[in-house]
Structure 1
Amino acid sequence: MIQSFVLSEIAEEELAELSQYSNGDPEMEKAQAEARRDRRRTKITQEMFETEKTYLNHLELVNKHFDFPLRFNCLIPEDVHSNIFSNIEQIMEVNKTLLEYMEHTTIGEAFKYLAPFLKLYSSYANNHENAINLLQEWRQKSSGFHEFIQNQEEKADMMGLKINALLITPVQRVPRYKLLLEDLLENTSTDHHDYEELKEAVQKVSDIATHINNHIKQHENFQKMLSIQKCFDKSAPKLLTPGREFIKEGILKKISKRGGKPHDRMFFLFSDILLYGKPRLLDSTNNSYTCCCVLPLKHCQLETVFGGSKRGAQENTEAGGMFKITCKDESLLLFSNDPEEMKSWTNELDSAIRKLSNNRSTLRKPSSNKAPMRGRSLWKLRRQEKQKDQQLHLENDFVLPPVVAQKTESEEEDSFLQMTMGDIGNATVEFDSFCRLGGNDKAHADTDSKRYGSGTGHEDFTRTSLSGKQHLTRHPLERFSERGKTLKKRCQNALESAQTRINETKSYCNIQ
């Protein structure tokens, strides 16, 4: 830090001296420009070190006062804790390494090496909004949790910072890296020893920033489509389809072919379909809809009637705007009182139709290749989707494998507990309900004999067939004492370990 300050002072002195004697000399002006670049580079480097140390200190405050204590004081459930703090501890470890590399190597080399690890920020950024909502929810729900947060925020080393402000810093950090590195590269000469590494680091961090932004957009798109799906009853098709993106939503007036008063309908535009619905009669909040029709954009044509800027269309800004959508045998005449809203709809529809047409080879979704659907066809599609989901669920069901002689440690404990709960003299366990024993029975029996011994007075495990059922007949007094001691010791160790952690946490958080 002192070295950076000295270099900055030297650069300023050189610049002042050069400015006195330049007098329009090209060589002197070039030297002045180089001095300005060096001065700017020194300033950026100093800023990167200072902001990185401050940022790392903020992460350590989160871990020290909130993340770590809340793991063990049982003020909030474990899943709530995981959602609030996400992977902030992993991010902190990455940034500790980054700062260490910056101090011992060059900035370009440090970021070039650690840029791939910055992808950890993607999952944190995706979860940030949910984390803040959970934090506020539990502060209202639990007075103990709210009091704990307040007490921790009043610690001296927090310097007035609040937990909300600390939790958002990782979301802002990668875009900040991108700006600083680009500025640093711009003020680094091509013959500088760190130029090539810095250039590569800028490219990598830019790619990471783009990746994070795209990841956030995909997550937001998923959440939006999920909320729209919940607004519809069972009449709507499945909206969560790979490759589908939400574009626009809004109320338009649908003009009936039979004439009469136009009706307000809620329209949802996606990258491959246009869907609209009407409010459910029993819903007083008007937040849920019944699906009326689904139009695949692949077969749609857009025509402006009036109010738009399309050639040949009449301008009528006072009366709003009207446009027509034709999809095979289906046609919709839609009207908006707001000409700007009408223009926005026509632009988005036209753009979506053109984009889908250009990328048709990569967007061949079932919903995009069908004719317009309404009424019975929508119910039929929904039933087919439900049957398909049930079939996939059945195919992915877990099937227990056949019993083998080798048992895991947990299975050994289960066997021990079964013996103690049953008849201590001769515990019999039926296993035909969850095992498949067929042609390999003999092989299993041979394996059992090899493991537990045979011809030594009695076998630990013997199979007998009673009424077509397979049984395991145990003589549980064998190794009873040994297993009991082992299980008891493990339980004692677990309790001692848990008590130690509780005592450490109480001492750390000053809990009596």
Structure 2
Amino acid sequence: CSAAGMRLKAPASRNLLDRVPFTGTNRLRLSSEEQILLPPNFTHCRQVNAFCILIHSVKNPKCLLSSQETNEQKLFKIASELLHTEKAYVARLNLLDQVFCTRMMEEANKGTFPLDVVKNIFSNISSIHAFHSQFLLPDLEKRMGEWASTPRIGDILQKLTPFLKMYAEYVKNFDKAMELLKQWTDRSPPFKAIIQEIQSQEICGSLTLQHHMLEPVQRVPRYEMLLKDYLKKLPQNDPDRSDAEKSLEIIATAATHSNSAIRKSVSSGADFLP
């Protein structure tokens, strides 16, 4: 039996096989949108063993034998979703910072168009990218690898809260960035050509620069949503509750500003289509 690319051996005892009822397909299910790992329906002990190893829960595999999803599994799924969406988010930040911004800065340094225009469009995207790629994502990856002994995410998300000021700056500048982008796309053929050339690449997924620039604005509300779901499943006496609640309180405030910016951009008719 195999899971997530690992070849796993069946349990030494095969007598238990008849004790586990057939409950459905034995495939790992993946969300088509974000490739989020969900627990499989178990058909026999080999699959129970595989999934326990996959989530590092070998200490208590019996917890997974129930046909009903346990609370621990629900918490793991939320943490897993956080990690998978964070990976996708960092990839989009890299696109904005290292592809769009870097290319346009190179052209601006040649005098093709003003350097200040590029700086004002991309604001502090490099700082946001650096924080998530160098700190938050590695911390989440490490934590998911230690989930059996440290099943918590509140303490990690609490590290995010001091850096929400970066998002406040980005959100505050967002309308100005959209206006500058529109002005210089209309005014400068070279400016427009560079953007269109990058947008035509597969890495952009047939989406515009404006659409990708909305990602950091949308990310904070996504943290809020995941944390709320996490806290609903978290026992009242769980050691992670205090950190998770503190994180949610601060993130929710930042999410309010982000949601306001999203509504304003939509109502202003920003061009998010290719």
Give the shorter-chain TM-score range.
Answer: 0.5 to 0.7
For residues 108 and 178 of structure 1, the distance between their equivalents in structure 2, rounded to whole angstroms, comes to 12
Change (3 A) 1:148 1:7: closer
Answer whether contact 2:199 2:206 (CA < 8 A) is retained.
Answer: yes
Distance 2:203 2:167 in 1: 26
Match of 2:190 in 1: 144
Preserved CA contact (<8 Å) 1:63 1:89: yes
Counterpart pick for 2:98 among 64, 67, 90:
64
Deviations 1:35-71 (A, max 9, x none): 4433332222221111111111011011122101211
- Residue 72 of structure 1 aligns to a residue whose secondary structure is helix
Does 1:8 find its partner at 2:39? yes
Percent identical among aligned pairs is 30
Structure-2 change in CA distance of 1:127 and 1:41 (3 Å): same
8 A Cα contact 2:78 2:226, kept in partner: yes
Q: Do residues 183 (structure 1) and 217 (structure 2) align? A: no
Taking a change above 3 Å as real, the CA distance of residues 18 and 70 of structure 1, as seen in their structure-2 partners, is: closer
The aligned length equals 203
Correspondence for 1:131? 177
Aligned to 1:269: none
SS of residue paired to 1:189 = coil
Residue identity matched to 2:122: F
- Among candidates 58, 82, 87, match of residue 53 of structure 1: 87
Counterparts of 1:263-278 in structure 2, within 5 Å, are none
Give the distance between the partners of 1:7 and 1:51, measured in 2 at CA: 14
8 A contact 1:109–1:197 mirrored in 2: yes
CA offsets, 1:445-504, max 9 Å, x none?
Answer: xxxxxxxxxxxxxxxxxxxxxxxxxxxxxxxxxxxxxxxxxxxxxxxxxxxxxxxxxxxx
Letter in 2 for 1:174: V
**Gaps in structure 2 of 5+ consecutive residues:** 7-27, 29-35, 49-61, 144-151, 265-274
Give the secondary-structure state (helix, strand or coil) at the position aligned to 1:9: coil
Larger Rg: 1
Q: Under a length normalisation based on structure 1, what TM-score does the superposition of the two structures give?
A: 0.36
Give the CA deviation at 1:191: 4.2
Q: Is the 8 A contact 2:199 2:208 kept in 1?
A: yes
| Aligned pair partner of 1:92 in 124, 129, 135 | 129
TM-score by length of 2: 0.64
Contact 1:138 1:146 in 2 (8 A): yes
Partner of 2:117: 80
Structure with the higher fraction of residues in strand conformation: 1
- Compared CA separation, residues 213 and 130, structure 1 to 2 (3 A): same
In the alignment, is the contact (CA less than 8 A) between 1:84 and 1:132 conserved in 2?
yes
Amino acid at match of 2:141: E
Tell me which amino acid in the other structure corresponds to 2:216. P
CA RMSD of aligned residues (A): 3.2
List gaps (5 residues or longer) in structure 1.
Answer: 20-31, 221-512
Residue 138 of structure 1: CA displacement?
Answer: 0.8
Pairwise CA distance, 1:16: 9.5
User: What does the per-residue CA deviation read over 1:367-386, in whole Å, with 9 as the maximum and x for residues that have no partner?
Assistant: xxxxxxxxxxxxxxxxxxxx
The structure with higher relative contact order (CA 8 Å, sep 6+) is 2
